[in-house]
Amino acid sequence: MVSGDCDFLVVGAGAAGIAAGREALALGLTVRVLEARGRVGGRACTDLSLGAPFDLGATWLHAAQSNPLVPLAEAVGLSLFDHDAVRDSRVWMGDRWATPSEARDYEEAERAWHLAVRQAVRPGARGMSLADAAPRGGFWDASLTHWEGPVISAAEARDIDLGDYLSTLLVGTNLLPREGCGHLLEVLAAGLPVTLGAPVERLAWDGRRVRAEGLFGTIEAGAAVVTVSTGVLASGAIRFEPGLPEAVLQAVHDLPMGLLGKVGLRASGEDRLDIPPFGGIERRVEEGERAMTFVAWPFGRDHIQGFAGGALAWEAEREGEAAMVDLAFSELHRIYGGRVDKALRRDGAVVSGWGHDPWSRGAYAALRPGRGGAREALSAPIGGGRLRLAGEACHASLAGTLAGAWLSGAQAARQAAALLRSVRDLSA
């Protein structure tokens, strides 16, 4: 049982919660972090069952030049690798790999696709989806829309707000922690007063203090930040008393969780399918078609990681882990035929399962078309600032990333510290 008082209560020990806890401690606040899972990291989890680090969720440190986690990782001695420098993607055309000339055409089509999407924005226009703006009819258009929608944004293009998509495009280098993003967060959480296996069932914010209750006991704090996903908020797993303001509830509805499912498959022998380390595999698709993508043999390790996003991921997850493994093998069969059955093992496959995880209920949030302002509404102060929400869904430009979650959590801690200082000053 945990009970007592603290200055600042953090609900959730993912990137946002760890950042909030560290920032609050640095500002001199007493802190307690409550985490429902039996581990820290949230949707960043490094699995070792493939014999090497495999990130089930967050994998890259995007926008590295401005990512706050990059200097923190370097400061604790973790090795970061520039994935962009070795990226070697190839595209399956249905019966063969794309030629160098076709690959150049694909790159040119990508530039044209992005230009067309940006030019589709009209002053004062609301409600446009990414699908509304995406060009159609070109040889590569469907593949590019599939990539930018389900694969990158974890949602179908028709379900993604155009303005938000453009505001959250990532610029800069993509770095990989060799030991995994989940491991990085474990290291950064060291020393925080975290209670694991402590889901908050009720959170009251109607008095001068915030009170959290659950099987762990009762904790009161001068201010609190809740860093759970919008999927968990929408599920009602935490009972807020009084209920969250209507504007916040609307924002939760407007930022539903997308899904990027991930599967890890280990090699069964020496066959590496003629793909180099960090080799990317994707397939050209037609309008309405869906496909998985893959990154092979990261760091020369003996596993392939596959990604399925949007509706394809939700469908596979509803059918269970075996369905995701079957989907990956089916996709690779299109290219390699029976060779893949000898090259890769089904047994021991690792599947992310974020959609049915009760403490995630998805991978990251995608804004519904026409619902601009929801990210700001989600992070607005509640109860005079005693309560705030934080996480990747709250960040206006780095949504869906560890960096966005981290910055959101740290900002919530700074705001709480300012509030508590003002309260103390007034009572002095």
pTM for the structure as a whole: 0.96
Q: Please name every residue paired with 340 in a beta bridge, in sequence order, or none if there are none.
A: none
State the CB neighbour count (10 A cutoff) for residue 11: 29
Taking only Cα atoms into account, the Rg of the chain, rounded to an integer number of angstroms, comes to 22
Q: Interior CA angle at 349 toward 346 and 352, to 5°?
A: 140
pLDDT for position 121: 87
Element (H, E) at 189: helix 181-189
The domain limits of the chain are 2-79+178-256+362-427, 82-174+260-351
Q: Pick one of 3.40.50, 3.90.660, 2.60.40, 3.30.70 as the CATH number of 82-174+260-351.
A: 3.90.660
pLDDT for position 1: 60
Cβ–Cβ < 8 Å for 31, 193: yes
The residues near 229 (Cβ < 8 Å, ≥ 6 apart) are 43, 257, 359, 360, 361, 362, 364, 365, 391, 393
pLDDT for position 125: 66
List of the chain residues with pLDDT < 50? none
pLDDT for position 281: 97
Q: pLDDT (tens digit, 9 = 90+) per residue, 50-70? A: 999 999 999 999 999 999 999
The gap from C-alpha 54 to its chain's centroid, in whole angstroms, comes to: 15
How far is the CA of 212 from the CAs of 201, 232, 255, 299, 391, in angstroms?
8, 16, 25, 44, 19
DSSP notation for 112-156: HHHHHHHHT--TT--S-BHHHHS--SSTTHHHHHHIIIIIHHSS-
pLDDT for position 127: 86
What's 2-79+178-256+362-427's CATH class? Answer: alpha beta
Q: pLDDT (tens digit, 9 = 90+) per residue, 337-359? A: 999 999 999 999 999 999 999 99
Cβ–Cβ < 8 Å for 257, 361: yes
The gap from C-alpha 372 to its chain's centroid, in whole angstroms, comes to: 20
